[in-house]
């Protein structure tokens, strides 16, 4: 017997669309199911100014399928040379929704990120003044810090000091991967701290990546952690706590760039995120909380209206078939495979 769940149309509060041929191929995958998405600015070169964000937004709109209402919410890439007034103008115009902080060297295309956080203090103070959120990639990049400990170290060394020094700054901890991150978010009582959780971090731990051979399409940054952390993320996502919301961090790379001696980090989940989330929430006995996580908590944090149209998810009697990859002019992009059969599908 089939089961059916309807949701307000979800949003994706952390999405990579890339540019050029990959953008044109993957944009329809997100536009099919999501109303809006926070678009990451880590292109090469990065999207640093309001003018660059406006040009990138135009390219995304051109890549949407005909008739699509998918709305890209643009971000600026924070550098040590970012002009606070340019941020303020772009935010006031409605063009830019948030600013993204990458510690230099933390992840894909992050070389232009921040090394000296004192040099961006003026920008952060302006953002607190105007109510512009800061989205953070929460990892330190010090080589002496183990890669599995970098999120916890970032909270202690970088994030907590920034928030204490900049009262009122709204911060999104993106792609949480640890119990430490979950517990830190829960300490916030004033509505200035939220967090996104990805689909793939609810499904895989570091054993999935490493046991029995390296699986490059499970390699992401922040890297998947121990099982205890995955379970903490599941508990947070399915709790109904409005401080946690969906940000897929869907990050397309062509197979040639993933399956190489130094493969790129990122899991491409745009195609099948919603059925996978329904599977996870069903396992946790929390299907009634899926709409909050995917459709309500994010708009509430960003001060935006919820979408008004709805989509339906149906659980069928036979497994749902997802495409193995999305073809682009630059080569195929493999779709995240959860490693188990999924019976949910999006009906509309």
In this predicted model, what pLDDT tens digit does every residue of 140-164 receive, in sequence order?
A: 988 999 999 999 999 999 999 999 9
E-assigned strands of the chain? Answer: 3-8, 12-15, 36-39, 71-77, 96-101, 134-136, 171-173, 193-197, 244-246, 310-315, 325-326, 333-334, 344-346
pLDDT at residue number 113 = 80
Of residues 253, 277, 271, the one with CA closest to residue 321: 271
Residue with tokens 């899991």: 267
Quick check: is 236 in a domain? yes
Quick check: is 329 in a domain? no
- The predicted model gives 102-121 an average pLDDT of 79
Quick check: is 227 in a domain? yes
DSSP assignment string, 76-144? EE--TT--HHHHHHHHHTTSEEEEEE-BTTSSTT-TTSBS-GGGGHHHHHHHHHHT--EEE------TT
Terminal alpha carbon distance of the chain: 19
How many Å apart are CA 12 and CA 150, to the nearest integer?
25
pLDDT at residue number 103 = 86
Domain span holding position 38: 9-308
Considering 11, 86, 180, 249, which one is annotated as catalytic?
Answer: 249
User: Over 80: is that where the pLDDT of 182 sits?
Assistant: yes
Quick check: is 313 in a domain? no
Phi, psi of 39 (to 5 degrees): -95, 125
How many Å apart are CA 138 and CA 102, to the nearest integer?
8
Quick check: is 343 in a domain? no
To the query of whether residue 19 is one of the catalytic residues in this protein, the response is no
pLDDT at residue number 348 = 66
Tens of pLDDT, residue by residue over 268-312, are 999 999 999 999 999 999 999 999 999 999 999 999 999 999 999
Name the pairing type of β-strands 36-39 and 12-15.
Answer: parallel
Percentage, residues of the chain above pLDDT 70: 97
Quick check: is 316 in a domain? no
Question: Does an H or E element contain 285, and which?
Answer: none
pLDDT at residue number 8 = 98
User: Over 80: is that where the pLDDT of 112 sits?
Assistant: no
How many Å apart are CA 230 and CA 190, to the nearest integer?
26
Indicate which CATH number applies to the domain containing 302: 3.20.20.140
Of residues 120, 117, 101, the one with CA closest to residue 172: 101
Quick check: is 330 in a domain? no
pLDDT band for position 44 (cuts 50, 70, 90)? very high
Count of domains for the chain: 1
Quick check: is 325 in a domain? no
The HSE-up count of residue 279 (CA atoms within 13 Å, CB side) is: 21
């Amino acid at each position: 017997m089939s089961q059916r769940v309807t949701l307000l149309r979800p949003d994706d509060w952390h999405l990579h669309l890339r540019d050029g041929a990959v953008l044109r191929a993957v944009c329809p995958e997100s536009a099919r199911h999501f109303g809006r998405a926070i678009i990451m600015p880590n292109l090469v070169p990065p999207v640093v100014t309001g003018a660059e964000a406006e040009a990138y937004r135009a390219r995304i709109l051109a890549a949407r399928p005909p008739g699509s209402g998918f709305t890209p919410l643009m971000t600026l890439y924070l550098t040590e040379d970012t002009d606070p007034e340019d941020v303020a103008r772009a935010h006031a115009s409605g063009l830019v929704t948030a600013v993204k902080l990458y510690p230099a060297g933390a992840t894909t295309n992050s070389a232009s990120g921040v090394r000296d956080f004192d040099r961006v203090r003026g920008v952060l103070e302006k953002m607190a003044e105007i109510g512009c959120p800061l989205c953070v990639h929460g990892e330190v990049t010090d080589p002496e810090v183990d890669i599995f400990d970098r999120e916890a170290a970032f909270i202690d060394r970088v994030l907590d000091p920034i928030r204490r020094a900049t009262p009122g700054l709204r911060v999104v901890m993106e792609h949480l991967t640890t119990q430490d991150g979950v517990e830190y978010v829960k300490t916030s009582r004033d509505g200035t701290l939220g967090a996104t959780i990805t689909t793939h971090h609810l499904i895989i731990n570091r054993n999935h990546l490493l046991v029995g051979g390296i699986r490059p399409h499970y390699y992401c940054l922040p890297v998947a952690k121990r099982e205890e952390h995955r379970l903490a993320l599941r508990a947070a996502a399915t709790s109904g706590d409005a401080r946690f919301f969906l940000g897929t961090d869907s990050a397309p790379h062509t197979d040639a760039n993933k399956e190489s001696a130094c493969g790129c980090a990122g899991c491409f989940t745009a195609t099948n995120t919603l059925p996978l989330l329904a599977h996870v929430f069903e396992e946790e006995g929390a299907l009634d909380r899926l709409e909050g996580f995917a459709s309500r908590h994010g708009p509430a944090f960003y001060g935006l209206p919820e979408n008004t149209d709805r989509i339906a998810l149906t659980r069928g009697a036979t497994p749902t078939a997802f495409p193995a990859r999305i073809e682009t002019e630059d080569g195929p992009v493999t779709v995240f495979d959860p490693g188990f059969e999924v019976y949910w599908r999006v009906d509309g």
